[in-house]
Structure 1
């Protein structure tokens, strides 16, 4: 008898695991209990995906999708609805189907999920959603230790804890620094912001013992869900992607920026159901530009651009570099529209990897190598348009320009010293001007040089005779948002006021002030 029941149980188990179709309903969760009750209606024309195919629900809210033994079924949130979040403010828009669980690895992945449920349902909560909203963007929290999680929490999270009038947050990868046991401390830190928080995968969030790229995100999936997903808010369609190919398909060592075939097919299938006039925002970790060598597979970028060619309103976001820059892609780079594609490489919350002098809270200042302070970005959306503001951690909202000028200059003598403006959100072509003592406004010259303010920070470490708390910052790199003006030495001796004004690509005006002193030359 025991043998008979054992045989039957094995037969049933094999049949369940062999199921190839996932079905379920997307429904309006009127009482917000997360369960599909008898009187709650299904929602039609809502997109659902298995990470590759994308289908729409029928008139009753039902969908069907093929699945294998490693799929994550997720709903693509439509505008006008919200997704339930768990106790850690992580949106619960997915169901993981891994009957056998994740492969054994150094860091635990997904536990076996068992039989495929008869119905995988997704609850959506009606939301009065306007076309004008704001998202909060974090680049590279990247703590390598619990101490650095505390730096992140004190230096960044505490500043936005309990923030209002922000719809959701998004971290652009490198949530931690190789030690995936820090995922939970990271989650607990970000939870304090108090808003729904989305996450994407970075190259320091991988299972490095994985033999294939498909298996390199198992611990990430166990904590955050799919590494590739999408959602809508207002007239904006967000596509979140893992663009870290690991192991590098060229030699099996390290990683490379790019996409797998199934990811590109997911993008193509997803975009079929997005109105052409909506703004498409793509977010991933590694920039699609190549500032230092062959960091991204060219063909994948070209294919991505082909998929976007019928969408005139686009923006892409990345982090990874620990600098801040704006890129604009045109025909020469394979972009297939007249209006260039804007790619924003966001400054990081960890700055220069938690380096530099310590502030009064004991947190590293961690200015980035291009002179951008550590911080985060707010993206304000209005319909299919957007406006970005970078916030320097610990500074006022209007601190958008770091000014460098010599403290004292010899009167009447020519000098090669200059007045520098590091305009954090700036890009070549922006209008940046300066004037001295309410004089005439003059254009500053765009230059690609190391920021002298940042060089001063490094020189302090290199010239001190007593070891300072903290860790020396990285060497400087050329800043791509730096302007220079000459110093007039034919003025009266004494203090002279420098004013700088700049207009960014969105038409926002910014100001900064500084000063220098003229003295008679000394023999």
Structure 2
């Protein structure tokens, strides 16, 4: 009888503990001391989440949510307010609640947090937040060593250090390369941008000794907070997600792109409080597109598209592939609106995993396999509209394409040599034109080929008779943004100028030039 009573009591206690409620206030922290004081006003209608459910604060700024013994409570920043930052410029919009701490993994997670506070309050700061702003986006920093952290800092971060008129930045996962002890060196590097910095989880940021997906982000959570969260800025609503299923639910080996059910619940519940005319920007690591293999669980993508069907203005961002491409999802791909959904797979700050020859600073040039040169993106927002520009690291902002042409061709003789333009932000259907010596503009042909300028870089490694500093680049792949034009050989002897002009999907026009010589034997 006692044993039966004990079991029932323990079940009741377990249910009670798992059904705790957390309450608190969201308030205007005027003096920015992190403490709610009597004179500080509450903020109503602010969303707060436990990772699945989302509620709004009442007129007194109060919220209540159910909470488990493994949860993160997070406030969803409203427009017109700022989030407190820690000394590393990381937004502090969350509270880790793990009374027993994280499981024991190779890389430590969250230390035991103890009892739940009686009130869990979030202080925000009022700020003048414009509807027109620019965000800075990094793909895959992914250093495997401290040396590569240094490459990341000197090759990328240093040129945006102290950047002005950019209110925040975001890294799209693979913050490090499997060694999670590099999280802190990564943080110390990226903090030097001097702006608030958001992060998301990649497949190389995981606790690989976890046996279930929900526990694979424990070390990430200890450093950055929730792997799924949201915030508002102007008329843009950002949803940041962990789309790495680990272990792969198909065979418990490796990983797969997709979402758990609680994540989809979070997205759906979060969007209930977002105006339909706002721009929804989703950011995650693994792309929604599957150009080569079954990289993303189709049913999850379809569920996501269904949740988004009443929001006409959307954009999604990813990295992971170490290339750059623009994808558009229409009804054939499961999108449920007339206007296709734009998915931007952003080029990486590590380029081709820090490979290639070393530049004058001793940093690998690290051109990506599709010929995109390593760099980062600026996304310019105006209300619910956006415009993207890509910045090649170490080059002027005008450098938007790489041209390839022979240095010399024989006069009059027929040649199959052509001029190639790798337009980094381009996509099939964009207008790319060329002309020789100021002549008539002609359309170039979009080709699904490897970028010959990148092929030449790789062949240099394969044909050298002496070792070169650095590391051989990866094999080239078919690029989604290369154009070709015929090269005339019937012009006068001498040097001739090739001009290229390319117009991207946002109407921005970019130009580049190259010369070649016509000679005779």
Interval containing the TM-score (normalised by the shorter chain):
over 0.9
How many angstroms apart in 2 are the aligned matches of 1:209 and 1:18? 25
Equivalent position of 1:115 in the other structure = 115
Equivalent position of 2:415 in the other structure = 415
Q: Secondary structure at the match of 2:282?
A: strand
Equivalent position of 1:3 in the other structure = none
Is residue 177 of structure 2 the alignment partner of residue 177 of structure 1?
A: yes
Deviation at 1:16, TM superposition (A): 9.8
Deviations 1:490-511 (A, max 9, x none): 1111111000001100000100
How many angstroms apart in 2 are the aligned matches of 1:288 and 1:137? 18
How many angstroms apart in 2 are the aligned matches of 1:413 and 1:229? 62
Equivalent position of 2:32 in the other structure = 32
Deviation at 1:376, TM superposition (A): 0.3
Deviation at 1:360, TM superposition (A): 1.1
Equivalent position of 2:3 in the other structure = none
Deviations 1:355-408 (A, max 9, x none): 000011111000000010100000000000000000000000000011111000
Equivalent position of 1:7 in the other structure = none
Equivalent position of 1:473 in the other structure = 473
**Runs of 5+ in structure 1 lacking a partner?**
1-12
CA contact (8 A) 1:100 1:114 kept: yes
Equivalent residue runs for 1:351-370 within 5 Å: 351-370=351-370
Is residue 269 of structure 2 the alignment partner of residue 269 of structure 1?
A: yes
Equivalent position of 1:136 in the other structure = 136
Is residue 155 of structure 2 the alignment partner of residue 160 of structure 1?
A: no
How many angstroms apart in 2 are the aligned matches of 1:425 and 1:34? 43
Deviation at 1:248, TM superposition (A): 0.2
Equivalent position of 1:4 in the other structure = none
Is residue 344 of structure 2 the alignment partner of residue 344 of structure 1?
A: yes
Structure 1 residue ranges (4+ consecutive) displaced by more than 6 angstroms after TM superposition: 13-16
Deviation at 1:185, TM superposition (A): 0.2
Is residue 23 of structure 2 the alignment partner of residue 20 of structure 1?
A: no
Equivalent position of 2:76 in the other structure = 76
Deviation at 1:18, TM superposition (A): 5.9
Is residue 228 of structure 2 the alignment partner of residue 228 of structure 1?
A: yes
Deviation at 1:46, TM superposition (A): 0.3
CA contact (8 A) 1:16 1:116 kept: no
How many angstroms apart in 1 are the aligned matches of 2:502 and 2:239? 32
Deviation at 1:291, TM superposition (A): 1.5
Deviations 1:256-275 (A, max 9, x none): 00000000000000000000
How many angstroms apart in 2 are the aligned matches of 1:490 and 1:316? 48
Deviation at 1:489, TM superposition (A): 1.1
How many angstroms apart in 2 are the aligned matches of 1:16 and 1:394? 57
How many angstroms apart in 2 are the aligned matches of 1:145 and 1:168? 26
CA contact (8 A) 1:19 1:116 kept: no
Deviation at 1:338, TM superposition (A): 0.6
Deviation at 1:49, TM superposition (A): 0.2
Q: Rate the CA distance shift 1:115–1:17 in 2: closer, same or farther, 3 A.
A: farther
How many angstroms apart in 2 are the aligned matches of 1:416 and 1:109? 59
Equivalent position of 1:395 in the other structure = 395
How many angstroms apart in 2 are the aligned matches of 1:132 and 1:16? 47
Deviations 1:14-38 (A, max 9, x none): 9995661000000011111111111
Deviation at 1:342, TM superposition (A): 0.2
CA contact (8 A) 1:444 1:485 kept: yes
Is residue 460 of structure 2 the alignment partner of residue 435 of structure 1?
A: no
How many angstroms apart in 1 are the aligned matches of 2:36 and 2:96? 19
Equivalent residue runs for 1:474-513 within 5 Å: 474-513=474-513
Is residue 130 of structure 2 the alignment partner of residue 93 of structure 1?
A: no
CA contact (8 A) 2:18 2:67 kept: no
How many angstroms apart in 2 are the aligned matches of 1:418 and 1:20? 69
Deviation at 1:249, TM superposition (A): 0.1
How many angstroms apart in 2 are the aligned matches of 1:144 and 1:416? 43
CA contact (8 A) 1:17 1:99 kept: no
Deviations 1:201-231 (A, max 9, x none): 0000000000000000000000000000000
TM-score (norm 1): 0.96
Is residue 109 of structure 2 the alignment partner of residue 106 of structure 1?
A: no
How many angstroms apart in 2 are the aligned matches of 1:266 and 1:303? 12
Equivalent position of 1:256 in the other structure = 256
Equivalent position of 2:192 in the other structure = 192
**Runs of 5+ in structure 2 lacking a partner?**
1-12
CA contact (8 A) 1:447 1:484 kept: yes
Tell me which moved more, 466-475 or 31-40.
Answer: 31-40
Equivalent position of 2:6 in the other structure = none
Q: Secondary structure at the match of 1:192?
A: helix
Number of equivalences:
509
Equivalent position of 1:126 in the other structure = 126
TM-score (norm 2): 0.97
Q: Rate the CA distance shift 1:343–1:14 in 2: closer, same or farther, 3 A.
A: closer
CA contact (8 A) 1:17 1:116 kept: no
Q: Secondary structure at the match of 2:230?
A: strand
Deviations 1:405-449 (A, max 9, x none): 100011111111110000000001101000000100000000011
Deviations 1:229-270 (A, max 9, x none): 000000000000000000000000000000000000000000
Equivalent position of 2:8 in the other structure = none
Q: Secondary structure at the match of 2:342?
A: strand
Equivalent residue runs for 1:300-379 within 5 Å: 300-379=300-379
How many angstroms apart in 2 are the aligned matches of 1:15 and 1:269? 24
Equivalent position of 2:241 in the other structure = 241
